[in-house]
Chain A
Amino acid sequence: MSAGIVTAAERGLIGCHRCGHVVERPSPAPAGDCGRCGAALHRRKPQSLERCWAFLIAAMILYIPANTLTMMRTINPFNSTDDTIISGVVYLWVAGTPELAVIVFVASVMVPIGKFIALLILLLSVRRGSDRDRAGRTRLYRIIERIGHWSMLDVFVVALLVALVRFDLFGRVEAGGGAICFGAVVLLTMMASLSFDPRLIWDTPARHD
């Protein structure tokens, strides 16, 4: 590791996660509350790994019905069509613009799956106590933290279409159970990444061999 780096834990300091205030609280002492903003201080987020695993597994299970159940049902006087995420993307590609089809595909398929994989990598590498490319893994964490909410895109699209297409003559649009599951997946993956503590990546000492 780069020389001259001192961690707050080694130095008996705790940085407040809410306001950035730095409090002196050497290790055996309880972390207590922040003197500036009153938030509870934590040397590491409590039960970070357990909570992250729980949210992640719940999200991965719900991702299956989110993709197989109907996201959106279009009803007109002659027939009705059920769309899932994927068939919605295909429709956009064929009848709309390929650019938007790609955006929806990235937001609804690649971002959630990428987040599942990234969180699994982070959780497993922390459990193994890996010291490989910590800066890279921290960057991975920052990326998934920043892009996770874009998966909500298709849920919003369905809500808007439901509101707009309400003519008796031309039919209507209804939201399906897939939309509920998909919204839940997005919230759960966001909660998973918020519960993960990236400082755990740095906690194992570097091996000198």
Chain B
Amino acid sequence: MSVDRWVVCEQCDAVHARRELQPGEVADCVRCGHQLYRHHRFDVEMLLALTLTTAIAFLLANVYPIIALDAQGAYNAATIWGAVIATWESGVAPVAFIAALLVFFFPLAQILLFAYVLLGLHGGRRPGEFRQAMHALSLMQPWSMAEVFMLGILVAIVKLQGVMTVIPGIGLWSFAVLTLLLAALTSYDLQDLWDIAERLDGDGGPVAREPA
């Protein structure tokens, strides 16, 4: 085990001695209450399975329309990309750009990066671009907004219901599932993956260890 002996709280700078946790247990900072670390909830195999399931949900949520409208025979359906393109054409390109980034590109990149990192760790090695992939994942974490978009779909449905018949599409259910899976995936503590990778390297690896 080459994991650090110490844990520094990133919110108040207090130093704690690291201890082994029981399943389900979390370690909170005694000074400010910030969650320092928790027991590994999943192993790499489970996390990999979660990533692949999320990828399938992402695919379905993007292929099928999220909502369809039926107003006296006139039918219109919107996919996520349909919404982005329509917003772009309606003259507010920055909104379309932000929506595409937050709802399409970030989730896609997170799924691909998790798959890359986990497939490597599953195969018993640290993948070549591990550092870069982990940095990208940690930078994207605060900007994941799938759950906000999901609530936005519900609000849009309610707003339209008085005027037209709103038909929820396969894409909507897929997106709801995607929201839950993505929340589970991105709530995973990336520091655990660093620890797992470090253990794989074994003792005598190139990693600097702290003196006692």
Contact = CB atoms under 8 A, between A and B. Distances in A.
A153 B155 contact: yes
Nearest to B138: A18
Interface string B114-131: 000000000000000001
Interface stretch (B39-47, B48-56, B81-89, B178-186): B81-89
Contacts of B15: 6-8, 11, 13, 22
A138 B31 CA distance: 10
Contacts of A11: 15
A150 B4 contact: no
A14 interface: yes
A7 B156 CA distance: 49
Given A15-B7, A149-B148, A164-B76, A138 B99 contact: no
B30 to A, nearest CB: 7
Given A96-B161, A175-B95, A163 B12 contact: no
A188 interface: no
Contacts of A160: 66-67, 78, 83, 152-153, 156
B37 A163 contact: no
A163 B169 CA distance: 15
A32 B161 CA distance: 57
A127 B7 CA distance: 28
Interface in A1-56: 1-2, 5-9, 11, 13-15, 17-24, 35-39
Interface in B79-111: 82-87, 90-92, 94-96, 98-99, 102-103
Given A135-B33, A165-B69, A167-B71, A175 B87 contact: yes
Given A135-B31, A202-B31, A161 B208 contact: no
Interface residues of A, number: 75
A64 interface: no
B26 interface: no
B207 interface: yes
Contacts of A158: 87, 95
B148 A150 contact: yes
Contacts of B21: none
Contacts, number: 216
B132 to A, nearest CB: 9
The interface centre, meaning the residue of A97, A142, A165 with most chain B CB atoms within 10 A of its CB, is A165
B74 A183 contact: no
Interface in B1-50: 4-15, 30-34, 37
A109 interface: no
Contacts of B32: 134-135, 138-139, 198, 202
Contact of A21 (B91, B103, B153, B194): B194
Contacts of B198: 36
B134 A159 contact: no
A20 B5 CA distance: 11
A199 B207 CA distance: 27
Nearest to A38: B131
Contacts of A86: none
15 contacts: A7-B15, A9-B13, A15-B9, A23-B208, A36-B207, A38-B131, A91-B159, A100-B154, A134-B32, A149-B148, A150-B151, A153-B148, A163-B86, A198-B32, A199-B10
Interface of A: 1-2, 5-9, 11, 13-15, 17-24, 35-39, 91-92, 95-97, 100, 103-104, 134-135, 138-139, 141-142, 145, 149-150, 152-167, 169-170, 173-177, 179-180, 183-184, 187, 190, 194, 198-199, 201-202
Interface of B: 4-15, 30-34, 37, 66-67, 69, 71, 74, 76, 78, 82-87, 90-92, 94-96, 98-99, 102-103, 131, 134-135, 138, 142-143, 145, 148-149, 151-156, 158-164, 190-191, 194, 198, 207-208, 210-211
